[in-house]
A and B are shown apart, each in its own frame.
Chain A
Amino acid sequence: MLINTVLLFLQSALPIFIIISLLLLRFTMASKNIVTHKELMIMSGLAITLTLLLNQIMEKISQLFDGRGMELIFSFGFILIYFCSALLFLLNNKNRFINSKKILALIIFLLVFSLNGSHFILYLTSYWAQSPSLESLFIGIILGVGICISFAILLYFLLRYSDAYIHTKTSCYFLLFFALGQLMQAIVLLQQVDALPLSYSLWNSTNFIAENSEFGQLLWVLFGYESSPSFMQLIIYFLSFIIPVFVSKNCCFIRLVYGEKS
């Protein structure tokens, strides 16, 4: 029960803490006062409301599309997270698109918070209802919250240091990898309901890092680690990484093609 609760936090709550760290980093370091306290409060309120609402209608969603509603809607959300993050990655160095970046960040935050948060509430309430030992559940919650907060703070300062002294775009690349992890969730969900073709696994690294272990879950949240990826997953992963990086590196060339002067 204790380990299950900790794993639940790593799987569903950690992405929320990570995205808060990443977005705070981008919007407090890159441009000062870009997001006001009032906006932060409104966003948080909106995210919590959306999460609770999604949690309430999850049962109805699950029955849509012949019992495949949850996968289709959640995968759509995860894909949207990736595309918004990729756009934010591309707009990183531009000071002109402040409002666009704020809207993209808001969409990413709301989606990550509501999709992962609604799952988290569902699992936690189910565990709570069926748990023989409430003591271990409470200890698990305390441990889980502690791990998530500690990890998010460490990540914030590590990326802040790295952005300042190692590579200016470290946090941007980290955001892209995080979004790739969310995209991989979408791929698995779509394969689960036959919306994407399934194929044999290319390899199985379960003996090296098991996906269901604590470390495996952490890597899964951070980079979309999969112990037995299929060919399609691998291709989508690499293309989804390479395309935004290629576009960002070749901005000058593309501007030339489209005749944009600035």
Chain B
Amino acid sequence: MINNLPKYYNLFLLSNLLFLCSAVVEAKRPEFHLALKKHLFYPAQIIIPANIKVKLVILNHDNSVEEFDSFDLNREKVIFPKQKSTIFIGPLPVGEYYFFGEYHPNSARGKVIVVETVNTPAVLPGALSSNQENLHVN
């Protein structure tokens, strides 16, 4: 097929392939963990620093598929049962950004709180204490 095309289309195709093959460079990002248990997010609140891109690792402990969804963060991610998924959020200005589970929007809810500096553990009272150790900044 390519041989049949004019030369300038081949050039166009080549530039496209170069774009596709461009190397992905990943920098080290602060990492936060989120767990999904019985259709609830733990912790329900995450505090992250402003103006920095962070890595969010979501682990689904449930036996059903869930989708991490946030219109504020412009993120949508399917998390399969007993699997973990990774997304990146930010850099964000100071504020509150809500997220929810697409299939259980009434129970699986939470928010990302963006602050200037992170000093306090970002776990809601009532959230599983074991999850406190999951939340850390590298």
Q: In the bound complex, how far is the Cα of B9 from the Cα of A91, in angstroms?
A: 9
When the two chains form their complex, are residues A70 and B71 in contact, meaning their CB atoms are under 8 A apart? Answer: no
Q: B52-93 toward A: CB 8 Å interface, digit per residue (1/0)?
A: 010101000000110100010011011010011111101101
Taking a contact as CB atoms under 8 Å apart, the answer to whether A198 and B4 are in contact is no
Known contacts A67-B86, A193-B86: does B8 contact A188 (CB below 8 Å)? no
- CB pair A260 B6 closer than 8 Å: yes
Contact A99 B53 (CB under 8 A): no
Interface of A is mostly: helix
Interface centre among A80, A99, A130, A212, by most B CB within 10 Å?
Answer: A130
Task: Confirm or deny: A97 has a beta carbon within 8 angstroms of a beta carbon on chain B.
Answer: yes
State whether B93 touches A200 (Cβ < 8 A): yes
Contact between chains at A211 and B71 (CB < 8 Å): yes
Which residue, B27, B84, B91, B103, has most C-beta atoms of chain A within 10 A? B103
A247–B15 CA distance with the chains assembled, in angstroms: 13
Flag if B103 contacts A193 (CB, 8 Å). no
* Closest beta carbon of chain B to A214's beta carbon, Å: 14
**Which residues of chain B come closer than 8 Å to A90, judged between CB atoms?**
9, 12
> What residue in chain B is nearest A212 (Cβ atoms)?
B71
Contact of B1 among A59, A100, A195 (CB under 8 A): A100
A70–B9 touching, CB < 8 Å: no
CB contact under 8 A between A193 and B87, given known A126-B65, A130-B103, A212-B71: yes
When A191-B88, A192-B75, A212-B71 are in contact, do A87 and B20 touch as well, CB less than 8 Å? no
Select from chain A the residue with minimum beta-carbon distance to B56. A192
Specify which chain B residues have a CB less than 8 angstroms from the CB of A257 in the assembled complex.
Answer: 8
Among candidates B9, B80, B102, B104, residue contacting A87 with C-beta atoms closer than 8 Å:
B9
A76 touches B20 (CB 8 A): yes
Q: Which of B33-68 contact A (CB under 8 A)?
A: 53, 55, 57, 64-65, 67
Chain A 180-203 per-residue mask, 1 if CB under 8 angstroms from chain B, else 0: 000000001001111100111000
Please indicate the chain A residues that have their CB under 8 angstroms from the CB of B55 in the complex: 194
**Least distance between B57 CB and chain A CB atoms (Å):** 7
Does A63 belong to the interface (CB within 8 Å)?
A: yes
**Interface positions of B from 90 to 116, Cβ below 8 Å from A:** 90-91, 93, 102-104
B136 within 8 A of A: no
Q: Are A130 and B78 in contact (CB under 8 A)?
A: no
In the complex, chain A residues 59-77 whose Cβ is within 8 Å of any chain B Cβ: 59, 62-63, 66-68, 70, 76
| Interchain Cβ contacts under 8 Å between A and B, 12 examples | A58-B78, A63-B83, A67-B84, A100-B5, A127-B103, A192-B77, A198-B53, A206-B71, A210-B71, A258-B6, A260-B6, A260-B7
Chain A residues near B (Cβ < 8 Å): 58-59, 62-63, 66-68, 70, 76, 79-80, 83, 86-87, 90-91, 96-97, 99-100, 103, 122-123, 126-127, 129-130, 188, 191-195, 198-200, 206, 210-212, 228, 247, 251, 254-255, 257-258, 260
Q: A-B pairs with the 3 shortest C-beta distances? A: A67-B86, A194-B88, A254-B8
Interface residues of B (CB under 8 A from A): 1, 4-9, 12-13, 16, 19-20, 24, 26-27, 29, 53, 55, 57, 64-65, 67, 71, 74-75, 77-78, 80, 83-88, 90-91, 93, 102-104
- 17 new A-B pairs (CB below 8 Å) besides A90-B12, A100-B1? A70-B78, A86-B16, A87-B12, A97-B5, A100-B5, A122-B65, A126-B64, A127-B103, A192-B88, A193-B86, A194-B26, A194-B53, A194-B88, A198-B88, A211-B71, A251-B8, A258-B7
